[in-house]
Amino acid sequence: MGTTMGCEAVGADGGTPTVDLLIPTRDRHDCLHRSLPSWRATGAPIILCDQSAQPFTANDVRVLHRPDLVGLPAARNVLLSASTAEVVVFLDDDCAISPDFVRVVQHLARTEPAVIAWGPVVEQRGRWIRRAHRIGHLGAFHDARRLVAGPSDQTTNALFGCCFAVRRAAALRVGFDARRPGYALGEDFDFFRRLAHAHPNTPLRFASDLMALHRRDGENRATPFTRGLAKGAFLSWIARRHGQGNPATLVHLLMALLCAASGRGQEPADWRGVLAGLWGADGHGRAKKRSAS
């Protein structure tokens, strides 16, 4: 299957693959204005899926106005369907990229036919946090993104959802879980797990030549308790969806919950919120409304 994907990676005429920039957004027009110059500098087509009541407008940007969509994963699927490029770059609306970003992606897609997706390391964690993740994130919860200390070229089981390039045909085969509403914490991790499962011989990797800046605009919008709710619900959902074949999943879940509840992550969570999210999670990885009261 990896060989088949490699054939699809090169441009249709055997040359440079086409690339689109895809940006899901909602009620963040100020972020878009700040990021747009860096996207324009790449020269690639830009497609937005705007879930705001009033759509963003820009002369050189294709805007899909979809206030009817319920969440981020659904917006990603709409963007995938709207693009005709061979490789797509998903970007958060508060993520800026270097002028050569698309050129580097095209080079990687052309010269690495066995690789299915690439991305930069946009988050870095200290040594002790990395050690905690190495001990606590096992089985279905193993997330190589939490173990990188800086720019890297290593293979990984997941890329950062704020900025990654993927072969569109492969992404379309698995899609994003549109049942999950809102921001849908961990929707990118779930996508990469299913992508890797569908294409076991086509790895994902970090690429140190890809440079991006994730500003994390509005990162303090959630309280520690609310973040705990989301993390607890997400970890419970991941255990059910991806850990059923591993008899140690319950042990791994406990360890991951302890890490989340420690309050020492990049986005600290309150342990009471983590427990409330664990026991009040619905079937789509979110906390039920009654749990947040």
What pLDDT was estimated at residue 180? 84
Structure tokens at 80: 């995938």
Our CA dihedral for 147, 148, 153, 159, rounded to 10 degrees, sits at: 70
Summarised one tens digit per residue, pLDDT across range 215-255 is: 988 765 678 888 888 888 888 888 888 888 788 888 888 88
- Does the pLDDT of residue 10 top 60, yes or no? no
3-state secondary structure 82-146: HCCCCEEEEECCCEEECCCHHHHHHHHHHHCCCCCEEECCCCCCCHHHHHHHHHHCCHHHCCHHH
Residues 67 and 171 in one domain: yes
Residues 70 and 201 in one domain: yes
The confidence band for 18, taking pLDDT boundaries of 50, 70 and 90, is: very high
What pLDDT was estimated at residue 138? 72
- Does the pLDDT of residue 290 top 50, yes or no? no
Tally the domains of the chain: 2
Q: 0.75 exceeded by the pTM?
A: yes
What pLDDT was estimated at residue 29? 96
Taking the C-alpha atoms of residue 23 and residue 94, their distance in angstroms, rounded to an integer, is: 10
What pLDDT was estimated at residue 6? 37
What pLDDT was estimated at residue 285? 53
Residues 30 and 87 in one domain: yes
Looking at 3-17, 55-69, 79-93, which range is the least confident one? Answer: 3-17
Mean pLDDT of 45-59: 96
Whether residue 151 is contained in a domain is answered as: no
Pairing state of beta strands 204-206 and 117-119? Answer: parallel
What pLDDT was estimated at residue 283? 52
Domain that holds residue 32: 2-122+160-214
Residues 73 and 177 in one domain: yes
Question: Which of the two residues, 284 and 156, has the higher pLDDT score?
Answer: 156
Question: Which of the two residues, 97 and 233, has the higher pLDDT score?
Answer: 97
Whether residue 256 is contained in a domain is answered as: yes
Whether residue 145 is contained in a domain is answered as: no
Question: Which of the two residues, 195 and 249, has the higher pLDDT score?
Answer: 195
- Nearest Cα to 212, choosing from 107, 127, 110, 93? 93
Residues 197 and 273 in one domain: no
Residues 166 and 271 in one domain: no
Whether residue 118 is contained in a domain is answered as: yes
- Does the pLDDT of residue 3 top 60, yes or no? no
Whether residue 103 is contained in a domain is answered as: yes
Whether residue 269 is contained in a domain is answered as: yes
Residues 27 and 73 in one domain: yes
Across 33-63, b (16+ Cβ under 10 Å) vs e yields eebbebbeebebbbbbbbbeeeebeeeebeb
| % of the chain beyond a pLDDT of 70 | 85
What pLDDT was estimated at residue 33? 96
Residues 19 and 76 in one domain: yes
Residues 168 and 268 in one domain: no
Residue where a domain terminates, one of 179, 196, 214: 214
Give the CA radius of gyration of the chain.
19
Whether residue 293 is contained in a domain is answered as: no
Whether residue 131 is contained in a domain is answered as: no
Residues 186 and 276 in one domain: no
What pLDDT was estimated at residue 8? 43
Summarised one tens digit per residue, pLDDT across range 150-177 is: 889 999 999 999 999 999 999 999 999 9
Residues 61 and 108 in one domain: yes
- CATH number for the domain harbouring residue 67: 3.90.550.10
Residue where a domain terminates, one of 196, 214, 232: 214
What pLDDT was estimated at residue 187? 93
Mean pLDDT of 56-67: 96
What pLDDT was estimated at residue 254? 86
Q: Which residues contact 102 (CB under 8 A, 6 or more apart)?
A: 19, 21, 42, 43, 44, 89
Taking the C-alpha atoms of residue 153 and residue 120, their distance in angstroms, rounded to an integer, is: 9
- Nearest Cα to 99, choosing from 139, 39, 12? 39
Taking the C-alpha atoms of residue 8 and residue 115, their distance in angstroms, rounded to an integer, is: 11
Q: Give the Å distances, CA to CA, from 189 to 4, 60, 71, 287, 291.
A: 24, 31, 16, 18, 24
Residues 266 and 183 in one domain: no
